Amino acid sequence: RKEVEQDPGPFNVPEGATVAFNCTYSNSASQSFFWYRQDCRKEPKLLMSVYSSGNEDGRFTAQLNRASQYISLLIRDSKLSDSATYLCAVCEGKSTFGDGTTLTVKP
Amino acid sequence: GAGVSQSPSNKVTEKGKDVELRCDPISGHTALYWYRQSLGQGLEFLIYFQGNSAPDKSGLPSDRFSAERTGGSVSTLTIQRTQQEDSAVYLCASSRDHGSDAQYFGPGTRLLVL
């Protein structure tokens, strides 16, 4: 079993839809959590950190569930420009990245 | 401010040749990471540095791969006797400190071994 697992998708949604991704992790001692966005043939870019109490940045909401050992990313009112691969990262001593979930937002 | 930079951005080499890939981290970042990513795949961890030391080299795929970091700044990843399966994008990232801080990635070096 991988340390960090994500549903690879692809998720194909229409513009304006709400979409959510989960990322499960196996190390209960994990301390820090992040979501990254990676566009095709580009490097991953930090999207947002994930805080214990949950946090929001515009249309994006990140949540942490320590009991069930997963983090989630919710995107509201999807835009065409949200099409990308979303990677989660879980840190405990070192960062472990999921393989990513691919999102395609269609007109 | 300046982000992580990598050079060259693209490298085409012949099988059996050695290549050197360079990474300039964000100023002041003590931790530096190397990853490899093949087309359509996830990130493959190679090695990380804390300062000039490499506590975790567990991801280096073979003894043909080595890396060093000098002055707590620039890092070089060297691949000796390149093979076609080494073709991939090599990404470097840095963070303020190791363990719990977010990583910031460079644009990568696209390596093609013919």
Q: Which helix (H) or strand (E) holds B93?
A: strand B88-95
Question: Nearest-CA distance from B28 to chain A in Å?
Answer: 18
Cβ contact A43–B99 (<8 Å): no
pLDDT at B58: 87
Angstrom distance (rounded) from CA A14 to CA A1: 33
Cβ contact B41–A87 (<8 Å): no
Q: How do the pLDDT tens digits run along chain A, 107 residues long?
A: 789 999 888 999 999 999 999 999 999 999 899 999 999 999 999 999 999 999 999 999 999 999 999 999 999 999 999 999 999 999 987 789 999 999 999 99
At A73, phi and psi to the nearest 5? Answer: -130, 125
Angstrom distance (rounded) from CA B107 to CA A93: 25
pLDDT at A44: 98
How confident is residue B10, by pLDDT bands cut at 50, 70 and 90?
Answer: very high
Q: What is the mean pLDDT of chain B?
A: 94
- Please indicate whether residue A85 or residue B1 has the higher confidence score (pLDDT): A85
Angstrom distance (rounded) from CA A19 to CA A47: 16
Cβ contact A31–B108 (<8 Å): no
Candidates A80, A71, A68; CA nearest to A104 is A80
Q: What confidence tens digit (pLDDT) does each residue in A24-48 have?
A: 999 999 989 999 999 999 999 999 9
State the number of CA atoms in the 13 A half-sphere of B15 facing the CB: 4
Cβ contact B42–A98 (<8 Å): yes
CB proximity A99 to B under 8 Å: yes
Q: What confidence tens digit (pLDDT) does each residue in B15-34 have?
A: 999 999 999 999 999 999 99
User: CA angle at residue A86 from A82 to A88, to 5 degrees?
Assistant: 145
Q: Which residues of chain B have a CB within 8 Å of the CB of A32?
A: 99-102
pLDDT at A76: 98
Q: Which of B43, B56, B91 is facing A94, going by the closest CB pair?
A: B56
Angstrom distance (rounded) from CA A64 to CA A72: 7
pLDDT at B62 over 90: yes
For testing contact with chain A, the best of B9, B103, B109, B112 (most A CBs within 10 A): B103
pLDDT at B3: 95
pLDDT at A89: 96
Chain A CA closest to residue B34: A95
Cβ contact A100–B42 (<8 Å): yes
Query: Is residue A23 within 8 Å of A85, Cβ to Cβ?
Result: no
3-state secondary structure B31-80: EEEEEEECCCCCCEEEEEEECCEEEECCCCCCCCEEEEECCCCCEEEEEC
State the number of CA atoms in the 13 A half-sphere of B61 facing the CB: 15
